[in-house]
Amino acid sequence: MCKMINQFADKIKGQFSFFDQMIINGYIRPLLSEQTRIGYLYSMGIPLRDFTGYFRNVTDCLAKRIEDSAQELGRPVVYLPSAKDRKEDIAKGFLLSSPVDEGLICVLKTLEACRTARVVGGEGKQFLKSSQTKCLHYYLYYLDREFGVMFVKIQTWFPFNIQVYINGREFMKHLFDANGISYECYDNSFTDISDVVKAQALADKFDSVKLCRRLDSFAKSLSPFLDTVQKKFGQGYFWCVDQCEFATDIMFQERYFLEDIYPSLVGHAFHGLSCTDVFTFMGRKPDPRFQGEAVSDYKKRPIGCRVKFRLKSNSVKAYDKCSVLRTETTINDPHGFKVFGTVRHRDGTESKQWKPMGKSISNLYRYAEVSKACNMRFLDSLVDIVPVKSVQQQIGSVCSGKTVKGKRVPGFNVWSPDVVRIIETVCDGRYLVNGFRNRDIGKAIFPGIQNAKKLSSKTSRTLKKLRQHGLIKKVPRSRRYHVTSKGRQIMGVLLELYHKDYPMLIAKAA
């Protein structure tokens, strides 16, 4: 458990870490390279001049199978004129208007850009060249018994790539139901889990091999071309993780507790951390040979705000959702991380060692390990933040004054340079262990007073006022003072506001 969670343990129900959104691509590897493509065509007795005609028949069979299957199940098939339409919203609309307990929700089809191959050259010499074009894509939305609402997208033209979207939180809901774990959700996050320890143990047992088998079954049900490929090459689709989001949800007891600390958390992350800290979060050391961008940014959203650190195409971010503080690592390029596996050397030998992590679905366990570690390092960097919202009320009482034992104690003008000097002096780190005495701080807070007796008296009155407001306390049977925890919170916030925000306010007023 990270330090930041320990700091607010009395306000937190627990934490839960698992994959959020995953996009997995499937490729028929023998059709990706020029040599194996031509080898496949020759082995099937298909000359290059018949390439387009042959695969047009495959495309027609693929489209017919998908649409006939939807028609048999009584599910809609809709053509979208724009690829930018919100397909998920359309699918959820069909699910509401025509609900299903399990299986196909709808089929959406649209023209999208894709990578394919075309025959170039004359009659004497022809070859296949990779090219960019547009072709029809089918989006099949399912309500799956394990993965909840998901979609499978298939490219209807050569080389028939597949993309699968899975929501990890939807998967865990079904797993919780099967294991008797009750939960509450807000949007795509868990706000409460009855047995957090058991829930995390189930999440840690996630099996990528089982997932791979499910993906193979989806591919086999869609593509009539797959049987021919498997017979010829002895393999089907090769599954790669295109994008992976891994989220750690810290569940607070009330939304108020999160609102209390979140402004300070975001402020510390954006102002107190450097964009190069993302190297540390992701377990790397800054390298002068590094070519790329390390960026931090802050964004306000309708439901809150988020702070994000990005290293090339990978990122870690924090944002609030209801009573949940979510830290999320997104991996688009896994090669910056390491995985332990077999390495083949140039001399033909093999050895086990750490190597750059690839996109194979077999590395999904390692995606989880490095992402969770990244989330924890980011949370550890937010330790000892001051909860601004609750401290704001206490600052108000310090400014307005109070009554102690029937006597009125005036407040502090916290924007006065003299008061700021007092605060900076008593909060000085040199007094953290042994505290301070009247004579230790007198000259620092009142540098204009030369008379020793007058200086001591005025310092005593100031110390008394600080004590009456609960900002400092006297060590019993001693002349020393320590800053209270309340005082350190209030004065810490005041110093941060004075040095960071107050100059900007003065500039705007001018």
CATH code for the domain of 473:
1.10.10.10
- Cis preceding-peptide flag for 159 (omega within 30 of 0): yes
Q: Is residue 401 domain-resident?
A: yes
Assign 28 to helix, strand or coil.
Answer: coil
Q: Does residue 424 fall inside a structural domain?
A: yes
Residue 497 lies in a domain: yes
Q: Is residue 344 part of a domain?
A: no
pLDDT band at 236 (very low <50, low <70, confident <90, very high): confident
pLDDT digits (tens, 9 = 90+) for 33-88: 877 888 888 888 888 888 888 889 989 999 999 999 999 999 999 999 988 889 99
Query: Is 367 a domain residue?
Result: no
Residue 240 domain flag: no
Question: Is residue 16 scored above 90 in pLDDT?
Answer: yes
Query: How many other C-beta atoms lie within 10 A of the C-beta of residue 251?
Result: 22
SS3 340: strand
Per-residue model confidence (pLDDT) at position 500: 65
Cα(432)–Cα(7) distance, integer angstroms: 19
Range of the domain at 449: 388-509
Tokens describing residue 349:
């030998």
pTM, two decimals, is: 0.76
Type of residue at 183: Y
Between 43-52, 196-205, 454-463, the lowest mean confidence (pLDDT) is in 43-52
Is residue 232, in this structure, part of any structural domain at all?
A: no
Pairing outcome for strands 103-121 and 77-79: parallel
The mean pLDDT of the chain is 86
Measure Cα distances from 360 to 23, 24, 71, 244, 356 in Å. 12, 10, 35, 12, 12
- Total structural domains within the chain: 1
User: Which two tokens mark 253?
Assistant: 């007891």
Which two three-digit tokens encode residue 287? 């390298």
Instruction: Say yes or no to pLDDT of 504 above 60.
Output: no
**Structural domain includes residue 404:** yes
CA distance readout (Å), 474 to 456, 468, 470 = 16, 11, 11
Rounded CA-CA distance 297/301 in Å is: 13
